[in-house]
Structure 1
């Protein structure tokens, strides 16, 4: 898989699949024993006396941050270390705090950590237009090489366009020493691509959104390899964890190719974001993003299974679905509180009038056989997905991530409201599977 990464790094090319020009700004990836020794060469390249910032949290500082800072200091860099206290969330407050910690002469940043640290550094580095190096400490998510940062902005989860890292530097022993729960989360995050890609293709068919098959092809071989190494991943075997990390980096490059998170973030991610927003709004600590995504993927796979069982003549949307967003202000205010207007504004961008909804169903009916082919070509039976998660010790029931059935029911019904992106949750409302069949979804998942 390393060779697959090398094929795209720092390159600009015209895609053979979609005909568009793609560019991957990340120039290099080095994963191997002794990788941190390259910091001496890197430090010499940026210049002695350069001010660099090493950013970590309290745990990742001990795991790798201090080593990175010391190596850079040994060759004469002026190192400014920023250590976030725990618990840490990727919020606009934390991002702005980081930006204020950096001195004006900082020329390069090093993000030593996993998802949250990287989101914060990526955003801050993009604001001041300096390069940064990602130093993963876990194979827990696919955002390392992506062109976005996911931040909670005043309680509302948004993705911000950002410059990807200039390079990735990882020590296998460090990544494999992360809690196994984080490896399980990374695997669950990667496996969500089977449904996110289908969401993307259906959006292309219904609404003409640009689609490129390359992001899915990037991780196809990795999918097959990882299925053969599930037990090794369950034991955090370094070779398997590195394989997972490389697959996650390829997935992030797929987002760079697409110019958004669309190839990797569909209904399952909206469910995760919705649960995270609700938990933080209520003063609770959400579980790992990838573990929530794993539950969301079970839901999305089940909805697609139920969609395949329908036929166009059966499609009847709920009358409530035809209500214009402006007539639902009180409902949104009750559900979202202070952020209700922003959610309503986002949802309004994809709300379909009765006429537009009819057009959508006509389009869906006209290409129904093609849609069925798209779904079945990548669809995994929900039970198979849950079995794979179980082998790794990832959550297979909402209770394992601290989410009640009632809360998950609400997420299934309303997660689509927080983003304009079209997903299977929107398709389910379009044809009338939702809201009527929400309990059937929960039953088929084995949770009711």
Structure 2
């Protein structure tokens, strides 16, 4: 008797492109979000976009509270949870880079409230994923963003190394899928063809456009942001991080322990992907070529790691 069942949760609305931050209030109303809004941001990202979001939500009739945090730590998650309960937050918005979004999405899960992702950089696929990376751990289950607002004008102002890191993170999907296929063959691990195909396609789009992804171009962000969001969506389909996280991510986590703060997460995953594809006897050269074209690190020296 057939008894299989599966649940998939996706973002309900995604705005990507020039000046879409102006539509923040409209998205919140469309999604039926009520109650007090809590913006989770940082000192720099508040100036870049956090204050703007606050003003926009106020203009649309929302009562808004803002909390500034630093790194993605358990202490900051507790701090945001405490504030959310004190103000009786109806929903949260993560406005900033990966750490601000990760803290907001994990807090949203723990208090059972909706979450909107408003990235100010595109350094990895966490802007759309149901996972969060908290210091002291590897990756934990969080909540899928109910909505995503990826303003290409704002993201283009971030240091180019962040965009290159996001590209490298998505390109590293190729080895993650290889690992997943191997686990399916050797250990009969559940495998999703649709999730793996979407993950690989995201990587291929970045690689095929490597020649035209350049610093200071909003068009480059436009090319990259869709594969980043699709990469996150592949995790929603799979119900795990398998389509986007394999041995190349374990390599990155190992570097975080032995050489913390040397490079961005996506940059480390890109170098890890070169190594792991070589071990898979795959086409590691095409990964290296694409990363070089984009301007992402391709070896330990470029990651800032000494012998």
Change (3 A) 1:254 1:48: closer
Deviations 1:21-51, CA, capped at 9 Å, x for gaps: 4523311111123312322324545789831
Partner of 2:277: 301
Match of 2:53 among 62, 68, 72: 68
Match of 2:63 among 47, 63, 78: 78
Partner of 2:89: 106
Pairwise CA distance, 1:236? 4.3
Deviations 1:79-111, CA, capped at 9 Å, x for gaps: 1111224xx2x2222222222232341111111
Pairwise CA distance, 1:20? 6.1
Query: Is the radius of gyration larger for structure 1 or structure 2?
Result: 1
Conserved 8 A contact 1:48-1:76: no
Say if 2:259 is the partner of 1:276. no
Match of 1:292 among 238, 263, 268: 268
Distance 1:270 1:226 in 2: 22
Change (3 A) 1:60 1:109: same
Say if 2:290 is the partner of 1:385. no
* Residues 183-192 or 54-63, more deviating: 54-63
Distance 1:208 1:46 in 2: 39
Partner of 1:402: 304
Conserved 8 A contact 1:147-1:162: yes
Deviations 1:54-83, CA, capped at 9 Å, x for gaps: 111122212111111111112221111112
Pairwise CA distance, 1:182? 0.5
TM-score by length of 1: 0.64
Distance 1:56 1:48 in 2: 19
Match of 1:266 among 227, 232, 246: 246
Conserved 8 A contact 2:14-2:147: yes
Say if 2:237 is the partner of 1:252. no
Distance 2:201 2:33 in 1: 42
Deviations 1:128-168, CA, capped at 9 Å, x for gaps: 0000100111221112222221222xx3x232222201010
* Residues 263-272 or 91-100, more deviating: 91-100
TM-score by length of 2: 0.91
Distance 1:133 1:120 in 2: 12
Partner of 2:223: 243
Structure 2: unaligned runs, 5 residues or longer = none
1:54 partner SS: strand
Distance 2:263 2:209 in 1: 25
Match of 2:176 among 190, 196, 212: 196
* Residues 19-28 or 158-167, more deviating: 19-28
Change (3 A) 1:167 1:228: same
Distance 1:277 1:201 in 2: 28
Distance 1:167 1:218 in 2: 20
Change (3 A) 1:221 1:279: closer
Say how many residue pairs are matched: 303
Aligned 1:160-199 pairs, distance under 5 A = 160-199=140-179
Match of 1:206 among 166, 186, 202: 186
Change (3 A) 1:115 1:22: same
Conserved 8 A contact 1:119-1:149: yes
1:107 partner SS: strand
2:125 partner SS: coil
Give RMSD over aligned pairs: 2.2
Partner of 1:345: none
Partner of 1:322: none
1:178 partner SS: coil
Pairwise CA distance, 1:399? 2.1
Distance 1:397 1:46 in 2: 44
* Residues 43-52 or 172-181, more deviating: 43-52
Distance 1:203 1:48 in 2: 41
Greater relative CO (CA pairs within 8 A, separation 6+): 2
